[in-house]
Amino acid sequence: MKIEHKELIVVGAGPAGLSAAIEAAKSGVKAIVFDENSKPGGQLFKQIHKFFGSKEHKAKIRGFKIGQDLLQEAEKLGVEVVLNATVVGLYPEKEIIVKIGGEVIHYKADAVLIATGASENMVNFRGWTLPGVIGAGAAQTMMNLHHIKPGNRVFMLGTGNVGLVVSSQLLQAGCEVVALADAAPKIGGYGVHASKVARTGVPFYLSHTIKEVEGEDHVTGVTIAQVDEHFQFIPGTEKHFAVDTICVAVGLSPMAQLLKMDGIVMDDTKGRTVPKCDRTGATSIPGIYAAGDVAGIEEASSAMIEGRMSGSAIAAYLGYLSSDSSEHRVDTLENSLSSLRQGMFAPENRGKKIETTEEGIAISQNLLKAGFVTDDEITRFPGFRKEMKVHPVLECTQNIPCNPCQSACAKGCISIGEHMTSLPISVDGSTCVNCGMCVASCSGQAIFLVAEETRAGFGEVTIPYEFLPLPAEGDGGFALGRDGKKLCETTITRVRTSKAYDGTALVTMEVPTEYIDKARFYKKIG
Amino acid sequence: MLDIQKKLKEIGPFVPEEDDDLLVCRCEEVTKGEIRKALHQGITTVEELRRFLRCGMGLCQGQTCGMITRRIVAKELKIPMGAIEPATARVPMRPIEMEIAGNEKK
Ligand SMILES: Cc1cc2nc3c(=O)[nH]c(=O)nc-3n(C[C@H](O)[C@H](O)[C@H](O)COP(=O)(O)OP(=O)(O)OC[C@H]3O[C@@H](n4cnc5c(N)ncnc54)[C@H](O)[C@@H]3O)c2cc1C
Ligand code: SF4
Ligand code: SF4
């Protein structure tokens, strides 16, 4: 049996693995990356939405584009990426067994990085094994990689960011999302993601979960019911929906088996098994590192930085970089990472009840329960402002690590300030030139351009729009409120697309002045 | 390590529940009732459950049912999730045909 020798073997070509390989290769390390998929990029290639964060975190760029960029960078640096290569084992002395085609190949490496990501959790309600019950990530794979519509009428279980993002993508794919439910009493993901879904008219059921899924040989319906604080069903609260697909988005579990089988010390908290690591992902065995979701579920943005930190440490471990320079680089990266881990959704705030924003403004309770800020609540946030002439209204009401809107506006109409998690402010006295860049750059699709009065009794609202077909100028229809309910009839006065908007269309509709602070979505007649 | 006799006394006899017929491990078709019964017969770890019932030993190697199983164990034995010894991970991490497993590159 032949054993091939490599300097650095990376398992998983997701954002963590690719970033680590890039960072190490920059210092001269020869890296090889194995991925069992036929396409590199891990989860990134399914993510067609724009990312949060700031510029250094690749904010407002769509996930798949970030993946393409990483791959290009890796190739340029001579990183070898081997696809359809399943790593089936990690043995002592850093021996790795890879299944490629009909063979298994043994490798030995000086350093190993495990970046295998995570898999989706399941819940076993009655009927969970029926065809039509799928993971939300699976639905995303079907839609965004294989261009297959997962179903026609979909019920989503789970309101974390995955549940919310996949729901809006299902809507984009032309599916009807009948409802979202979560056993928790409040929506778990970002409010701006929830609002995107809510304003299309999709209802949220909090403190509800699936009781039973019906069907003979495939899903035909679902019954949900309310649960009490001990997650027990409350009799008489059942609701039924006729659906053909159930998407489950109830969290992810790290795929850490490779590390475990090698005898690495694991940390077992809350039923999740992750390797014990230092800040660079160094595990209990020298030369073996872990980065990304496998070391703790987070996001692609953080996985990329973690990967870079590991890559830099590996370069030092292999003698390509002095430990001083590596430490220095890791410090810088850690700062960038901690800026992402701020705000209401920061790891240390998980499970905490937050009543006010960092600015001391009461949180919209309706946003947490129904997915949208009410007409009365929105006026207390600094992104809301009234002016006759066109101006931005920023309906971003939670402290999240995100700020592309600020840099998008060359006119200084939007201010977030130093602190990335601060709420965006619609700046008083600034002059908006209606360029639309802010609307298109907002990952949360939470920015609207409002002109209170364009002719007597009427004003205009410009909304971000990512559905096809696009409406056309002169089209009639209804303006919908933040709750997705019909407000009034409207006419489309302008539809803007541009390369600079990167796929987001700007649709302007005319509404009577009384609805100017309420109209936030458009629906065609019929 | 749990004191099994003490634990069995503490949790009392097996009481059937209406959803005992629910599948937990779909690969190996193991139900919630079978797992609960096994726990009342003195099994206390996921590893033992795997050997006794084969739950988590199928195609996905417990990646789907692992958490559900652990939740059942925690509830039934009245212990926190973190206190449950997880199953051992073994090569191969993914299912692999014997023909390929034996076909090592020369
Ligand atoms: C539906 C969904 C939406 C999301 N939306 C966002 C978002 O908007 N913003 C954000 O920042 N994050 C988002 N995330 C989270 C983000 O995708 C992950 O945190 C990130 O991809 C983790 O990166 P990773 O490199 O650790 O793992 P992954 O991206 O999962 O990559 C792991 C790779 O390892 C490979 N692999 C695994 N095991 C083996 C093996 N044995 N042999 C060979 N290869 C193997 C896999 O094929 C995969 O390509 C989302 C996640 C999901 C599921
Ligand atoms: S439309 Fe242009 S000028 Fe107006 S706020 Fe947005 S980015 Fe600034
Ligand atoms: S308004 Fe600004 S901070 Fe809020 S989601 Fe949009 S781009 Fe991010």
**Which of A62, A22, A79, A13 lies closest to A40 in space, CA to CA?**
A13
Judge residue A267's burial from the number of C-beta atoms within 10 Å of its C-beta, 0-12 exposed, 13-18 middle, 19 or more buried: middle
The pLDDT of residue B71 is 92
Give A395-406 as a 3 state SS string. CCCCCCCECHHH
Picking from A292, A291, A283, the residue whose alpha carbon sits closest to that of residue A317 is: A283
Instruction: Give the list of residues 6+ apart from residue A304 with CB closer than 8 angstroms, or none.
Output: A15, A16, A19, A57, A58, A66, A70
Nearest to B82 among A103, A121, A269 (CB): A269
Would you state the pLDDT for residue A352? 87
- Omega of the bond leading into A401 within 30 degrees of 0 (cis): no
Is B98 touching A (CB cutoff 8 A)? no
Q: What is the pLDDT of residue B2?
A: 80
Distance, CA A430 to ligand 2 centroid (Å)?
10
Looking at residue A526, what is its pLDDT?
A: 65
- A490 CA from centroid of ligand 3 (Å): 27
* Interface list for B 24-53 with A (CB within 8 A): 24, 26, 32
Query: In this complex, do A91 and B63 lie within 8 Å of one another by their Cβ atoms?
Result: no
User: What is the model's pLDDT at position A347?
Assistant: 86
For the segment B7-31, the average pLDDT, to the nearest whole number, is 95
Q: Which CATH superfamily is domain B12-83 in?
A: BFD-like [2Fe-2S]-binding domain (1.10.10.1100)
Q: Give me the residue spans of the domains in chain B.
A: 12-83
List, for residues A384-412, the tens digit of each pLDDT value: 999 999 999 999 999 999 999 999 999 99
Q: Do A261 and B91 touch (CB under 8 A)?
A: yes
Give ipTM to 2 decimals.
0.91
**Domains of chain A, earliest start first:** 3-119+253-340 (3.50.50.60), 122-250 (3.50.50.60), 372-524 (no CATH)
- Closest partner CB to A260 (pick from B63, B82, B89): B89
Alpha helix (H) ranges present in B12-45? Answer: 32-40
Cβ–Cβ below 8 Å for B74 and A271: yes
Measured between CA atoms, how close is A305 to chain B, in angstroms? Answer: 26
Angle at Cα A38 formed by Cα A287 and Cα B66, nearest 5°?
Answer: 65
Question: What residues 57-76 of chain B have any CB closer than 8 A to a CB of chain A?
Answer: 61, 63-68, 70-71, 74
Burial of A167 (0-12, 13-18, 19+ CB in 10 A): buried
Least Cα distance to A465 among A414, A519, A520 occurs for: A520
Q: What is the pLDDT of residue A414?
A: 97
Secondary element (H or E) of residue A248: strand A245-248
- Which segments of chain A have a pLDDT < 50? none
Q: What CA dihedral angle connects A508, A511, A516 and A518, to 10 degrees?
A: -90
